[in-house]
Amino acid sequence: MVDVLSPLLSAPEIPPAAGHQLLAGLDLAPRTVVPAWVTDPDMVASILAGFIDIPDDLRGTQ
């Protein structure tokens, strides 16, 4: 078996903050941010547990 390495195929370096957001958007990491307009503690817990998904356009700026 031969490993072929190419600089064109190297993995890009992603900043940790952007990497976590990307993985959370793909449901591969837990969401850690809840929009400020969500005040109900049960809903906050449901969002963090992944039971409720808030679309990105409704998240606003954090």
Blockwise average pLDDT, block size 10, the chain, 62 residues = 64 68 75 82 87 76 54
Phi-psi category of residue 6: left, alpha or beta, with phi > 0 → left and psi -120 to 50 → alpha: beta
Does the model's pTM come out above 0.75?
no
Segments making up each domain of the chain, as ranges: 31-62
Q: What are phi and psi of 31, to 5 degrees?
A: -75, 135
